[in-house]
């Protein structure tokens, strides 16, 4: 450990680090680009891999871009600003393909359709940390109203540092929605008095925040949804308005005489658009607050709401579901967390799942794993779409379509 080396960077891997091969070992290094010739120092070492800190770049890659945020490198929010946006898209598309080949063991699969985003000002939902000023020491105490008292910095907002628990004060955030950015730079962003960490959501005329006015209505395409800043809601509304029509086109390929299900439905973001195509829609969501908002968002059609984890819901599908006529679906959309589908849900989909399945994923590794099992169980992978919900980061959002 501590050895200094110089070697070329091959590619970006999950998480955003570059990978270097040196003396038969994979070495990961942040803030590097494919094609860079870098000099680094090994700071953590294992049998087959190591982490290194970047010391210098003797030969920069042509794929590099100029970071537009002065906090980049110290703030933990972005990890790819040092790449041009075109290079980010290319690397993330390659990571998606690599996951299907390496983790999913697919010898062939549909070439991903690519849907870029605006690279700045896209992020509608951001979590801030409250940074409190330190109380003055006895020696430095000043009378209230004195010059030194007035010069003390106020409570500020910031983000977690890249590699530590420290907080980085932020007077601006170029990837934030214009409403959040304006409130941040003008100092008008609300500070909930009882929270050291809180989420803010803004889009159009809506600005809501956890710990205060948390509920608001958000317009997506031709619909208006009630949401809560304290609950999960997609962070890139513009990208979401591109994904939703693609999801609707997929739903139109299903049997319109059969009901559908939306598993991990959240506040009903997809169900609001899909309910018009099916005689009944079942919404499954373990967060009761989110499911209550989904009830309000649905138009009042034939909907059933299940405040259950996906595994618990699967257990209810047995004989009772068949007796009540709720056992067959023409279409299902799943939008699981990063962990992907559980083993029991995958097996249920293989046994009793619909002819058409749409899988919205936020992690290529678990999507590739789940896709492999679904395809071994009788589904065919018909389509992959990469939607860049999170420019400047290594996060990858994918729509996968399966058919039996």
Of 137-141, 200-204, 222-226, the range with the lowest mean pLDDT is: 137-141
Residue 152's pLDDT band (cuts 50, 70, 90): very low
Does the pLDDT at position 351 exceed 70? yes
Q: Mean pLDDT score of the chain, rounded to an integer?
A: 91
Instruction: State the DSSP H helix or E strand holding residue 343, giving kind and residue range, or none if neither.
Output: helix 343-352
The better pLDDT of the pair 298, 194 is held by 298
Question: What φ, ψ does residue 82 adopt, rounded to 5°?
Answer: -80, -5
Give one DSSP letter per residue of 182-223, joined into a string: HHHHHT-S---TT-SEEEEEEETTEEEETTSS-EEEEEETTE
SS3 (DSSP) at 121: coil
Which neighbouring-strand residues pair with 37? 8, 59
The better pLDDT of the pair 150, 273 is held by 273
Residue 191's pLDDT band (cuts 50, 70, 90): confident
By C-alpha distance, which of 325, 310, 309, 234 is closest to 272? Answer: 234
Whole-number pLDDT of residue 153:
46
> Would you say domain 100-120+241-403 falls under CATH 3.10.310.40?
no
Stretch 65-73: mean pLDDT: 96
Stretch 58-82: mean pLDDT: 96
Cβ 261 vs Cβ 329: under 8 Å:
yes
Looking at the domain covering 1-64, what would its CATH class be?
Answer: mainly beta
Which residue shows structure tokens 């967060």?
Answer: 287
The ranges assigned to domains in the chain are 1-64, 100-120+241-403, 125-228
A 10 A CB-CB count for 224 gives 12
Cβ 79 vs Cβ 16: under 8 Å:
yes
Percent of the chain exceeding pLDDT 70 equals 92
Give one DSSP letter per residue of 345-381, joined into a string: HHHHHHHH--SEEEEEES-HHHHHHHHHHHHHTT-EE
Does the pLDDT at position 372 exceed 60? yes
By C-alpha distance, which of 371, 376, 348 is closest to 358? Answer: 371
Whole-number pLDDT of residue 34:
97
- What burial class does residue 103 get, using C-beta atoms within 10 Å of its C-beta: 0-12 exposed, 13-18 middle, 19+ buried? middle
């Amino acid at each position: 450990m501590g050895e200094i080396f110089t070697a070329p960077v091959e590619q970006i891997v999950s998480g955003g680090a570059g990978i270097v091969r040196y003396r038969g070992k994979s070495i990961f290094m942040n803030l590097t680009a494919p094609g860079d010739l870098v000099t680094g120092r090994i700071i953590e070492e294992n049998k087959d891999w190591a982490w290194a800190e970047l010391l210098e770049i003797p030969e920069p890659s042509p794929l590099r871009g100029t970071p537009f945020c002065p906090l980049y490198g110290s703030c933990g929010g972005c990890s790819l600003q040092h790449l041009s946006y075109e290079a980010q898209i290319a690397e993330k598309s390659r990571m998606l393909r690599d996951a299907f080949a390496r983790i999913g063991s697919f010898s062939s699969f549909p070439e991903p359709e690519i849907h870029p985003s605006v690279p700045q000002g896209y992020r509608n939902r951001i979590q801030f940390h409250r940074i409190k000023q330190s109380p003055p020491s006895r020696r430095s105490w000043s009378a209230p109203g004195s010059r030194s008292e007035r010069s003390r910095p106020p409570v500020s907002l910031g983000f977690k540092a890249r590699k530590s628990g420290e907080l980085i004060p932020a007077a601006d955030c170029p990837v934030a929605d214009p409403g959040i950015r304006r409130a941040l730079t003008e100092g008008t962003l609300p500070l909930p008095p009882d929270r050291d960490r809180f989420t803010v959501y803004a889009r159009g005329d809506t600005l809501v925040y956890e710990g205060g006015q948390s509920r608001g209505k958000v317009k997506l395409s031709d619909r208006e949804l009630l949401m809560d800043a304290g609950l999960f809601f997609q962070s890139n509304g513009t990208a979401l308005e591109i994904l939703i029509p693609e999801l609707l086109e997929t739903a139109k390929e299903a049997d319109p005489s059969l009901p559908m299900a939306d598993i991990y439905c959240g506040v009903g973001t997809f169900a609001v658009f899909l309910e018009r195509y099916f005689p009944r829609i079942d919404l499954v969501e373990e967060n009761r607050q989110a499911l209550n908002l989904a009830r309000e968002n649905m138009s009042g059609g034939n909907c059933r709401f299940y405040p259950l984890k996906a595994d618990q819901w699967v257990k209810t599908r047995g004989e009772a579901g068949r007796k009540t006529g709720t056992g067959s679906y023409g279409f299902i959309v799943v939008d699981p967390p990063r962990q992907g589908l559980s083993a029991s849900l995958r097996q249920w989909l293989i046994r009793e799942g619909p002819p058409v399945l749409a899988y919205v994923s936020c992690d290529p590794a678990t999507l590739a794993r789940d896709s492999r099992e679904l395809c071994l169980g009788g589904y065919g992978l018909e389509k992959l779409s990469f939607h860049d919900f999170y420019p400047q980061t290594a996060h990858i959002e994918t729509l996968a379509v399966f058919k039996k």
